Amino acid sequence: MTDTRAILKRLERSKFRSSFHLKQKDIDYIHAKGMDTIMDHCDDFIRARLAPSNLPNDGKQTPMKGHPVFIAQHATACCCRGCLSKWYGIDKNRDLSETEIRNIERIIGAWITKEMENR
Ligand SMILES: [Zn+2]
């Protein structure tokens, strides 16, 4: 999952993934907080809700709204371990590595940046 551009292209070809977009209030929130703070939130979410293996609520841990990162997680298939397994081939029966966490955060950040540029 190192070629961010190729991954974003692949996601764009998915009808479901490409149906997610930031709403005006998400954009306003990002402008108000700044991208660094948004990515700090992203790091908290990924470590708490995605990194551990065998999460009891896997598939339901990422709300469909409430934070721009949640939208980005659905848009990038980084919403649950099931989707990470299907899209990126990451075994869901082990914790995510530091490298995987950083790759996921990079993909989410790139998707948010692209959304902001396309406004
Ligand atoms: Zn999912």
Centre of ligand 1 to C-alpha 15, Å, is 15
pLDDT tens digits, one per residue of 45-94: 999 999 999 999 999 999 999 999 999 999 999 999 999 999 999 999 99
* The Cα angle at residue 18 between residues 82 and 113, in degrees rounded to 5: 95
The pLDDT value given to residue 1: 84
Centre of ligand 1 to C-alpha 116, Å, is 23
First to last CA, the chain: 26
The pLDDT value given to residue 15: 98
pLDDT exceeds cutoff 80 at 119: no
pLDDT tens digits, one per residue of 16-26: 999 999 999 99
- 2 — pLDDT class (breaks 50, 70, 90): confident
Parse the chain into domains and list their residue ranges.
Answer: 4-117
In this prediction the pTM is: 0.96
